[in-house]
């Protein structure tokens, strides 16, 4: 079966920003089919639109389907996992600079109107990696601990990577590639 990877950008992001083009190229060299959807209305994100777009893009989730999110893209992935049917599963998820509350930012509060159903999320994905930076100006390290405790994520902390965005000069992110290759074995 062909392994599929979906790379989900964050708020204000786009498919060709930051490390996503590099990761897509590296994965395709290794035989993966890679999708980087442009999430709808990226400057004014709405959870229902983002989850609906991700649902349509993924189609039928299966054990050869892997999800990689950056920032708000991580939240879209978690909310998507909550919507899957009873026996639907994905092979794994890598969450880069993810968080579990609205960070006090009004424009993204609609993603957090209800608490996460962590049990349901785990029932659809058993393999998580959470990657955080020790100097992220937006997302504190406590969120990595939350993912470790709530969804049994492997927590990886990188030094001086800020928010892992193109604006931070991050155009390659080998730890995401390594994590995906490990998850997909």
Closest CA to 130 of 112, 120, 145, 117: 145
Closest CA to 121 of 83, 71, 65, 159: 83
Alpha helices in the chain (DSSP H): 20-29, 47-58, 72-83, 118-124, 142-151, 174-183
Number of helices (H), then strands (E), belonging to the chain: the values are 6, 6
Rounded Cα distance between 25 and 140, Å, is 30
Is the Cβ–Cβ distance between 53 and 40 less than 8 Å?
yes
Virtual torsion, Cα 139, 142, 146, 147, nearest 10 deg: 50
Provide the annotated active-site residues.
71, 136, 163
């Amino acid at each position: 079966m062909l392994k599929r990877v979906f790379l989900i950008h964050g708020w204000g992001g786009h498919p060709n920003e930051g490390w996503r083009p590099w990761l897509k190229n590296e994965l395709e060299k290794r035989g993966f089919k890679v999708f980087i959807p442009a999430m709808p209305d990226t400057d004014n994100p709405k959870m229902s639109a983002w989850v609906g777009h991700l649902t349509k893009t993924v189609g039928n989730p299966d054990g050869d389907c892997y999800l990689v999110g950056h920032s708000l893209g991580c939240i879209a992935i978690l909310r998507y996992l909550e919507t899957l049917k009873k026996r639907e599963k994905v092979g794994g998820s890598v969450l880069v600079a993810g968080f579990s509350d609205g960070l006090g930012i009004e424009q993204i509060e609609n993603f957090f109107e209800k608490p996460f159903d962590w049990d349901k999320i785990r029932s659809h994905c058993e393999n998580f990696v959470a990657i955080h930076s020790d100097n992220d100006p937006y997302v504190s390290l406590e969120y990595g601990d939350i993912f470790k405790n709530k969804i049994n994520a492997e927590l990886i902390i990188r030094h001086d990577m800020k928010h892992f965005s193109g604006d931070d000069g991050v155009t390659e992110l080998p730890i995401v590639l390594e994590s995906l290759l490990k998850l997909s074995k």
